[in-house]
Amino acid sequence: MRVATWNVNSLGARLERVEAWLAEVEPDVVCLQETKLADDAFPSLTFSALGYESFHHGQGRWNGVAVLSRVGLEAPAAGFSPDDVVPRDEARIVSATCGGVRVVSVYVPNGRSPDHEQYQFKLEWLAALRGHLDAACRPTADLLVCGDFNIAPDDRDVYDPAKFVGSTHVTPAERSALDGLLEWGLVDVFRRHHDEAGLYSWWDYRAGDFHQGRGLRIDLVLATPALAEKAVWSLVDRNARKGKPTPSDHAPVIVEFG
DNA sequence: ATGGTAGCGCTGCTA
């Protein structure tokens, strides 16, 4: 099963590129983030014509997450579970069972800066995600939590670690929250196949950062251990970020499970 | 360079 996660930064602006990418990469399951669409504007018919069932959880102008699947899509669920302690009602998490695997697409709040209220929201949201795992999932099950975590797990994932000290995405509190997810029973699958620094999934649109190689690895595929063992290869699909017109500022991360 | 670009949508917010 081939799984991908991609923050498309507006599916409305990116649909043609996403369609071409689906035809080229042929993923079985895709987690999308930042669709920036209301549910009634989500192009489910476009995806079904390409062979994908889909489930979207959007709110319009900001956020919005979805799961696409061509290996079945069952028990879709928008948002956290009713019993979870949720800091704010934003469209940042959606789940579905695809080919026997529970798949969760997440868009973790950006945080802006450590002194900002949005940073506290980010930490609260990550705590809610951990609570959701405790309540709704089991580390022994086949589970994927994929998406834009807005956290660089360690300094290999940052183009200039010294420059980022004190910035959001790298603070000990954020990394500790991510570690909490891993300690619950998830594996950063990409790091099973790649040890080196400089393999990024996001580049700031500004100042030509993509072409200068200034990026972060913040888009992650997390899998429960038994499922992670089955990962054959993984990569960042930088081809989807190259060229015109109008790429997302994120590249897809793709994992092949045997 | 406390800048820069992209998206939404039409003013300034979000990233």
Per-domain residue ranges of chain A: 2-257
Tell whether the model's pLDDT for residue A189 goes beyond 70.
yes
Q: Please tell me which residue lies nearest to nucleotide B13, judged from CA to C1'.
A: A62
Q: A4 — phi, psi (to 5°)?
A: -135, 150
Q: Is A107 tagged catalytic? A: yes
3-state secondary structure of A147: strand
**Res. A244: pLDDT tops 70:** no
Q: Report the pLDDT value the prediction gives residue A245, as an integer from 0 to 100.
A: 77
CB atoms within 10 A of CB A131: 16
What is the structure's pLDDT at A82? 87
Report whether pLDDT(A84) > 90: no
A33 CA to B9 C1' distance (Å): 21
Q: What is the mean pLDDT of chain A?
A: 97
- Mean pLDDT value of segment A5-13: 98
Distances (CA, A) of A190 to A69, A72, A104, A171: 21, 25, 17, 21
A242 pLDDT band, cuts 50/70/90, is: confident
Instruction: Provide the CATH topology of domain A2-257.
Output: Deoxyribonuclease I; Chain A (3.60.10)
Question: Which of the following is catalytic: A52, A107, A119, A200?
Answer: A107
Split at pLDDT 50, 70, 90, the class of A235 is: very high
| Nucleotide of closest approach to A12 (CA, C1') | B7
| A195/B14 CA-to-C1' distance in Å | 33
pLDDT in tens, A17-53: 999 999 999 999 999 999 999 999 999 999 999 999 9
What is the pLDDT, as a whole number, of residue A155?
97
Annotated catalytic residue within A28, A148, A237, A249:
A148
Q: What is the mean pLDDT of residues A2-10?
A: 98
User: Could you tell me the pLDDT band of residue A197, with boundaries at 50, 70 and 90?
Assistant: very high
Distance in Å from B11's C1' to A9's CA comes to 21
Mean pLDDT computed over A52-67: 97
Question: Tell me: the pLDDT tens digits for A166-176?
Answer: 999 999 999 99
- pLDDT band with cut points at 50, 70 and 90 for residue A83: confident
Instruction: Please report, as a single letter, which amino acid is at residue A147.
Output: G
- The reply to whether A159 belongs to the active site is no
Q: Considering chain A, what percentage of its residues have pLDDT values greater than 90? A: 95
DSSP sequence for A52-112: -EEEEE--SSS--EEEEESS--EEEEESS-TTS--SS--S-EEEEEETTEEEEEEE-----
Find residues whose C-beta atom lies within 7 angstroms of strand B. Answer: A 9-10, 12-14, 36, 60-62, 109-110, 112, 118, 150, 204-207, 246, 249
Tally of CB atoms within 10 A around A40:
8
